Amino acid sequence: MTEPAVQSRTGGPSLPQERRLVTEIPGPESRARLDRKKQHVADGVGTMLPVFVEAAGGGILRDVDGNSLIDLGSGIAVTSVGNSAPEVVRGVQEQVAAFTHTCFMITPYDGYVDVCEKLAELTPGDHAKKSALFNSGAEAVENAVKIARVATGRDAVGVFEHAYHGRTNLTMAMTSKNMPYKHGFGPFAGEVYRAPMSYPFRDGLSGEQAAARAIDVLDKQVGADNLACIAIEPILGEGGFVVPAPGFLPTLAAWAADKGVVLIADEIQSGFCRTGSWFACDEEGVVPDLVTTAKGIAGGLPLAAVTGRAELMDSVHVGGLGGTYGGNPVACAAALGSIAEMETHDLAARARAIGGTMHARLTALQERHPVIGDVRGRGAMMAIELCAPGTTDAEPARAAAVAAYCHQQGVVTLTCGTWGNVFRFLPPLSIPDALLDEGLDVVAEAFAATA
Ligand code: PMP
């Protein structure tokens, strides 16, 4: 039976934290809007779960049909503090009423500098740091490469298999997977070289062995003297939530430091408490030269940053970094609110607790369903890789079937991985335990129903 759509559009943590389905998914209101989307929005902009959202908060997305869905994706690791988190709303409302834009390159304002000061405090390492702010993760990665090139006077960029760094021309070149990110969009930027990544489930190598394999490629096929930088996600995001074997990152970092190669940690997906620390690099004490951040930094508003060693950041001539909107005052206010939420509620600890629950539940599920070849991740960035039992032959069709079942039952889940066979979990850190449990119950049901 279809109930009338709920009237109030207020989201945030006061939104009732319960899964509630009143129509099929997508419901009639969403389907009508999908027809409009089809008419006005380019087909290249796909949607995975086509329910139109009208309010969200905590661990819930409520759609225009009045369905309340459990959010296990956080808009791809963005709303870590929850949608419309109180400090984000407060900061944005104050800022938007004061002024919306001046362009920091024309007349500066405090919010931008406040965010840079916070980034210096929170990112790995206690050396002198500076930041520059941008609009998107891809833009941050591009600028990190620009900085590394100016600082070193070298051209080459080392990247890794299964990497994802964005959709601009340079970051497409840096990204591994063809479909859908690169197909037909070439020619791509030059001087980008790919080394093998540590992928313990598939290569069985220790961190040191995998690092030696990667370093051999970079050294012999590119030449350390030609490398401006190596860019790496400390835990792969779109590439499948692969956690490199312990020792891989520190060995690479030591090699890069020795050769004068700038180490760029792309923490765009793994940063800001997601993995149970402020940054994934913290786990192994790796101190990158430059860190790129975005997504979770600003509670849903578009903001990104490059933070790094002051002398590297300052190697670029005045006017060489910037952009009309980079570090927009409203986005900066959102970032300060988002960081305040993380500090006040110790969301890194919350991510570790969520990770504990998810790891236990997913390991138990693996015992019942041998198609789950690997359970991996850290904190609230957890995944399962689906393969034919006892092999590493990818099972993307099963992942798609499990996801479709979850969507029908009102649980937003995401897939990823080079073979499309990885099911990833990125719940908002504000999700109540009961809702997380219920979401994982539905995932378990989905495996049983699609067996
Ligand atoms: N790097 C990583 C590790 C990412 O996960 C993403 C986004 N998925 C990006 C870069 C690109 O960020 P954006 O979509 O904001 O450009």
What single string gives the DSSP state of each residue in 8-53? ----STTS----B-SS-SS-HHHHHHHHHHHHHS-TTS--SS-PPE
pLDDT of 6 higher than 90: no
Is 0.95 surpassed by the pTM of this model? yes
Residues contacting residue 411 through CB under 8 Å, at least 6 positions apart: 19, 69, 70, 72, 439, 442, 443
Q: How confident is the model at residue 8 (pLDDT cuts 50, 70, 90)?
A: confident
Integer Cα distance of 381 and 194 in angstroms: 25
What total number of domains does the chain contain? 2
User: How many CB atoms are located within 10 Å of the residue 25 CB?
Assistant: 19
Q: What is the CATH number of the domain that holds 268?
A: 3.40.640.10
For 329-382, the pLDDT digits (tens) are 999 999 999 999 999 999 999 999 999 999 999 999 999 999 999 999 999 999
pLDDT tens for each residue of 112-151: 999 999 999 999 999 999 999 999 999 999 999 999 999 9
Do 227 and 330 belong to one domain?
A: yes
> Which structure tokens are listed for 5?
């759509």
Q: What is the mean pLDDT of residues 48-74?
A: 98
Rg (CA), the chain: 22
Asked if residue 257 and residue 154 are part of one domain, the reply reads yes
Ligand 1 centre to CA of 409 (Å) is 28
Q: What is the pLDDT of residues 166-188, one digit of tens each?
A: 999 999 999 999 999 999 999 99
**Neighbouring residues of 191: CB distance < 8 A, sequence distance ≥ 6:** 155, 156, 157
Distance of CA 97 from the midpoint of ligand 1 (Å):
30
* Residues 212 and 118 placed together within one structural domain of the fold: yes
Residue 2 has pLDDT above 50, yes or no: no
Q: By the 8 A CB rule, do 124 and 284 touch? A: no
Do the strands 53-57 and 129-134 form a parallel or antiparallel pair, or are they unpaired? Answer: unpaired
Residue with the smallest CA separation from ligand 1 atom 1 is 165
Show the CA angle centred on residue 154, arms to residues 153 and 157, nearest 5°. Answer: 140
Q: For position 64, which CATH number holds?
A: 3.90.1150.10
Q: Which of 344, 370, 386 is at the close of a domain?
A: 344
The residue nearest atom 12 of ligand 1, judged by CA position, is: 137
Q: Are residues 328 and 430 in the same domain?
A: no
Domain range holding 218?
A: 99-344
Domain for residue 94, yes or no?
A: no
Establish whether residue 137 lines the binding site of ligand 1, counting it when its CB lies within 6 angstroms of any ligand atom: yes
| pLDDT band at residue 9 using 50, 70 and 90 as cut-offs | confident
User: Domain check: are 185 and 321 in the same one?
Assistant: yes
Is residue 357 included in any domain, yes or no?
yes
Whether 166 lines ligand 1, by a CB cut-off of 6 Å, is yes
Which of 344, 366, 400 finishes a domain? Answer: 344
Domain membership flag for residue 353: yes
**Same domain (yes/no): 125, 168:** yes
- Sign of the C-alpha dihedral, residues 78, 84, 87, 92? positive
Q: Is residue 303 predicted with pLDDT exceeding 60?
A: yes
- Shared domain for 296 and 193, answered yes or no, is yes
Binding site membership of 135 for ligand 1 (Cβ less than 6 Å): no
**Token pair for 385:** 């890789």
- Residues 205 and 328 grouped into a single domain: yes
Atom nearest to 236 CA in ligand 1: 3
148/245 same-domain check: yes
Give the pLDDT of residue 4: 45
Mean pLDDT of the chain: 97
Atom of ligand 1 nearest to the CA of 166: 11
pLDDT digits (tens, 9 = 90+) for 26-43: 999 999 999 999 999 999
The residue whose CA has the least distance to atom 10 of ligand 1 is: 165
Q: Which residues contact 447 (CB under 8 A, 6 or more apart)?
A: 365, 368, 369, 371, 372, 402
Q: 91 in a domain, yes or no?
A: no
Query: Is 131 domain-assigned?
Result: yes
Which residue, judged by its Cα, is nearest atom 5 of ligand 1? Answer: 269
Last residue within a domain, chosen from 286, 311, 344 = 344
Bridging pattern class, strands 372-378 and 381-386: antiparallel
153, 279: one domain: yes
Q: How far is the CA of 367 from the centre of ligand 1 (A)?
A: 33
Do 310 and 367 sit in the same domain of this protein? no
Cα of 167 vs centre of ligand 1, distance in Å, is: 8
Would residue 204 count as lying in a domain?
yes
Residue 350's pLDDT is 98
Q: Is residue 1 part of a domain?
A: no
How many CB atoms neighbour CB 271 within 10 A?
Answer: 29
Q: Is the pLDDT of residue 251 over 70?
A: yes
* Sign (positive or negative) of CA dihedral 413, 416, 419, 421: negative
Whether 292 is covered by a domain: the verdict is yes
Please check whether residues 24 and 134 belong to one and the same domain.
no
3-state DSSP assignment of residue 171: helix
In the sheet that holds 411-412, the strands lie side by side as 53-57, 60-63, 68-71, 411-412
